[in-house]
Structure 1
């Protein structure tokens, strides 16, 4: 099969300063003929939103009307767990590959000054989706997320271009809405960085971080509005989570204050206003996010996965 790749890179408008938008049609090598049969046919898109550093108790105390809408209209737990290392890049890589850091190999947490980039040892949800004939978008507020954008696996990206740099939540939302409304990707990942950076600067639980959490809820509202304008909200399952919490000015290994994260799913086929902790045997882990996305798209979950689809959140046939 002849491979075709058209990649266009353009500088996003001034409001997206420092973000580059890549658009294109990806090579068809290894892509399945016809898309998989989805268990819930009404679900055509999956959006994963990560609020970096969002500790569950902070989310519950804050004025977050959009998050509360997701709870009312979906299934949730505020006792989900991230990886034991509880730091940004390894945790997000687990969220998006379905495996622990030991398996995916991303155990550092910054841009590496290497001549050749290093990508996870296991495929991301973007790669699984692209192989299956879907499209994928990655929008992040931190430059180190370029590690997750292996060439040929992500259809559109918006990531800061300078090493160890960050974009504001507003810039992330602007880039995400532009991609959503123009392209309607099948898999959409949106990462907000400022709750985490405020925690490091002012402390977890500080007034400044509290204010940033409430401000971020406004960004969530804009994402939902973008799905409406694109005409895909009624066919999109949205999963909101985080990579870690924190205490003091940091977060770290196997600290309960760092390791507990929220996990909320809403959209078509999702059980409404359902607290997943009602099932005492169910423990939701960050690796389950990738597994759930694959299941929704009809992509088989590989046997090596540490994650599992959170089937209790859905009205399965």
Structure 2
């Protein structure tokens, strides 16, 4: 993945970040984006929906019954922030209050390239505003489930996404958007053979990287990290205090 490798070489990369248990998609993305683990936000499996009676109710709720996400906190504290959510896994958006999202795009059948174009257009249109964009590509996960992690087909899916990342970054540089932007590269879980959900190292350890103004350059992260810390880092970048019900920390070692 030469384009992603080149990007992350300019910042801090962890290859020892732990995900939360269970090592499945929705609990971990929710943890990335709420500064808390499943024991707080209550999203304990991939079938979670707010309309269903939860197995574990969230420890706190916003006015619409959602656990406060990084998007909600940002919008409440800085209403001028423009927020977009681009995804291609249908249930991925369920844990978040859509009222705080200015643009949402869901693509069916593993589509993803169009969302990279939409994300760039959103950044370009809002270049004078504080902006937060979530951009997700699921077809790599599906390739792992179908063909096995690290299979040739899985590697090919990574190479395809890397091409989109390269084009996206090139367009940002051309428009003068790159230097003022923070990029955070995230994954929700690892895998073993064709599956995941257990507690093996292959399933529980994921990469985590950040690049941008004020971030240490060219370093491997030595500070212990977990998916729950992501939202706390994002709020620090926007100079917003995290809510009291969040349980996680800012990774101080990544900042210059």
Please report the TM-score for the alignment, with normalisation by the length of structure 1.
0.71
Q: How far apart are the structure 1 equivalents of 2:198 and 2:88? A: 23
Matching of residues 3-82 of structure 1 within 5 Å: 64-82=1-19
Matching residue within 187, 195, 210 for 1:242 = 187
Question: Counterpart of 1:93?
Answer: 30
Contact 1:286 1:307 (8 Å CA) reproduced: no
Question: Counterpart of 2:230?
Answer: 289
Q: How far apart are the structure 2 equivalents of 1:285 and 1:143? A: 25
Q: How far apart are the structure 1 equivalents of 2:213 and 2:99? A: 29
Matching residue within 160, 167, 172 for 1:215 = 160
How many residue pairs end up in the alignment?
244
Please report how far the alpha carbon of residue 222 of structure 1 lies from its aligned counterpart in structure 2 after TM superposition.
Answer: 2.5
Question: Counterpart of 1:269?
Answer: 214
Change (3 A) 1:176 1:110: farther
Q: How far apart are the structure 1 equivalents of 2:65 and 2:248? A: 16
Question: Counterpart of 1:142?
Answer: 89
Matching residue within 97, 101, 109 for 1:154 = 101
Contact 1:120 1:147 (8 Å CA) reproduced: no
Q: How far apart are the structure 2 equivalents of 1:113 and 1:95? A: 18
Unaligned runs of 5+ in 2: 58-63
Q: How far apart are the structure 1 equivalents of 2:240 and 2:50? A: 35
Unaligned runs of 5+ in 1: 1-63
Contact 2:123 2:131 (8 Å CA) reproduced: no
Q: How far apart are the structure 1 equivalents of 2:194 and 2:9? A: 32
Contact 1:138 1:149 (8 Å CA) reproduced: no
Contact 1:76 1:264 (8 Å CA) reproduced: yes
Please report how far the alpha carbon of residue 156 of structure 1 lies from its aligned counterpart in structure 2 after TM superposition.
Answer: 1.1
Please report the TM-score for the alignment, with normalisation by the length of structure 2.
0.87
- With 107-116 and 301-310 compared, the bigger mean Cα shift is at 107-116
Please report how far the alpha carbon of residue 148 of structure 1 lies from its aligned counterpart in structure 2 after TM superposition.
Answer: 3.9
Contact 2:192 2:202 (8 Å CA) reproduced: yes
Question: Counterpart of 1:179?
Answer: 122
Higher strand share: 1
SS at match of 1:215: helix
Render the CA deviation track for 1:225-251: whole Å, top value 9, x for unaligned. 343355322111111010011011111
Render the CA deviation track for 1:249-278: whole Å, top value 9, x for unaligned. 11113221111111111111111111112x
Render the CA deviation track for 1:137-178: whole Å, top value 9, x for unaligned. 111111112314413211111124xxxx54323233233223
Please report how far the alpha carbon of residue 113 of structure 1 lies from its aligned counterpart in structure 2 after TM superposition.
Answer: 10
Question: Counterpart of 1:11?
Answer: none
Change (3 A) 1:169 1:276: same
Contact 1:238 1:267 (8 Å CA) reproduced: yes
Question: Counterpart of 1:46?
Answer: none
Q: Does 1:193 align with 2:138?
A: yes
Q: Does 1:104 align with 2:41?
A: yes
Q: How far apart are the structure 1 equivalents of 2:243 and 2:48? A: 29
For the aligned residues, what is the CA RMSD? 2.4
